[in-house]
């Protein structure tokens, strides 16, 4: 029988997944974002062997108060909330949830593409507010999605799921920029001959719709800046469902107001929740979403399930199904 260890859950888990942890370990649930639970979080952190949660920065300072920590299981695919250097130096296992959210995030990307191009939110608002008084005029017409050229910044599993929808469902030529070209014949045979690996500038110059799906790292922070926006086609649509800080938000606003960017659909922001004072919140040509890329019942449950499996296996000294990094272990 394995020894019961101390597990700190720092974001709500579905009851069945919480029960899986409780069957094996001593579990404390404390959300550090809720002021009433912060003290309990800090107290549990001091003895925690395992952490599981998401959407809260696990910084070097915080890790210094977790001397027993052996594993962190993130209920996310992105790992930008974790101090990777400290984890590496201390041999703390980091797990994440790739693979189970790709199709759902790709659906969200398409929701944003369609909403921005066809002005769905704005026109629906017009109906709700009783401003639909006749045939809408040309000034409210949208732009087609089908047949337009899609440019993907980032071409991992989620990017490929977006590309499949675009190429197979909407007849869109797909360009992508990634550090390395993907071997489509092996990894995405349905996209063979339908997706082209191109340099960053080439993609920006040719795409009608640019979608950023970039993880946040030193090399991607602020990558989509004024230069990138000015390299985009006049009338381009920009969608971001990766990480907010890969885009310079002031430059995005300038591109909307003084450049030629037509509209933006944003699921992610440099600061989340989006501050009330952010002009992106109310800009007439921005469709903002509250980071719902993976937020469906089925997918969030699958993420929680994988994250719990990851943590149980890591704490048992086994190799979890989705380790991000185990250096030092």
Catalytic residue positions, numbered:
243, 272, 291
Does 240 engage in binding with ligand 8YV (CB under 6 A)? no
Q: Are 185 and 192 in contact (CB under 8 A)?
A: yes
CB closer to ligand 8YV, 55 vs 88: 55
CA distance linking residue 221 with residue 21, whole number of Å: 35
Does 247 engage in binding with ligand 8YV (CB under 6 A)? no
- Of 258, 254, 201, 203, the C-alpha closest to 226 is 254
Smallest distance, Å, CB 180 to ligand 8YV?
21
Tokens standing for 216?
């946040």
* List 4, 22, 26, 55, residue binding ligand 8YV (CB under 6 A): 55
Half-sphere exposure of 278 (CA within 13 A, CB side): 19
Smallest distance, Å, CB 323 to ligand 8YV?
16
Smallest distance, Å, CB 84 to ligand 8YV?
14
- Of 219, 252, 177, the C-alpha closest to 80 is 219
CA distance linking residue 133 with residue 187, whole number of Å: 51
Does 308 engage in binding with ligand 8YV (CB under 6 A)? no
Does 112 engage in binding with ligand 8YV (CB under 6 A)? no
Q: Which stretch binds ligand 8YV (CB under 6 A): 19-27, 83-91, 154-162, 289-297?
A: 289-297
Does 159 engage in binding with ligand 8YV (CB under 6 A)? no
Q: Which stretch binds ligand 8YV (CB under 6 A): 63-71, 75-83, 138-146, 319-327?
A: 75-83
**DSSP string computed for 137-148:** PGGG-----TTP
CA distance linking residue 37 with residue 159, whole number of Å: 37
Residues within the interface to ligand 8YV (CB under 6 A) = 54-55, 75-78, 101, 291, 293-294
């Amino acid at each position: 029988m394995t020894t019961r260890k101390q597990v700190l859950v720092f974001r709500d888990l579905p009851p069945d997944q919480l029960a899986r942890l409780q069957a094996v370990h001593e579990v404390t649930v404390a959300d550090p974002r809720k002021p009433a639970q912060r003290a309990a979080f800090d107290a549990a952190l001091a003895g925690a062997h395992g952490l599981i949660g998401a959407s809260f920065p696990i910084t070097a300072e915080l890790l210094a108060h977790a001397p027993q920590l052996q594993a962190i299981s993130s209920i996310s695919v992105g790992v930008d909330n974790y101090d990777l250097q400290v984890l590496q130096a201390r041999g703390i296992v980091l797990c994440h949830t790739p693979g189970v959210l790709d199709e759902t995030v790709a659906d969200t990307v398409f929701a944003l593409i369609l909403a921005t191009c066809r002005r769905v939110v704005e026109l629906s608002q017009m109906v709700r507010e009783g401003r639909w008084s006749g045939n809408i005029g040309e000034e409210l017409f949208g732009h087609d999605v089908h047949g337009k050229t899609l440019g993907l910044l980032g071409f991992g599993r989620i990017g490929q799921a977006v590309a499949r929808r675009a190429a197979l469902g909407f007849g869109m030529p797909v360009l992508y920029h990634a550090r390395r070209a993907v071997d489509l014949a092996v990894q995405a045979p349905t996209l063979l001959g339908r997706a082209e690996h191109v340099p960053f500038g080439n993609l920006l110059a040719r795409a009608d719709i640019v979608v950023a799906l970039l993880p946040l790292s030193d090399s991607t922070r602020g990558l989509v800046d004024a230069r990138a926006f000015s390299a985009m086609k006049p009338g381009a649509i920009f969608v971001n469902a990766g990480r907010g800080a890969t885009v310079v938000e002031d430059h995005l606003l300038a591109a909307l107001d003084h450049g030629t960017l037509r509209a933006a659909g944003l699921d992610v922001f440099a600061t989340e929740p989006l501050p009330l004072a952010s002009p992106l919140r109310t800009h007439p040509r921005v469709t903002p979403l509250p980071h719902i890329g993976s937020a469906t019942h089925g997918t969030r449950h699958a993420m929680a399930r994988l994250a719990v499996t990851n943590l149980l296996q890591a704490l048992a000294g086994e190799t979890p199904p989705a380790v991000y990094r185990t250096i030092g272990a």
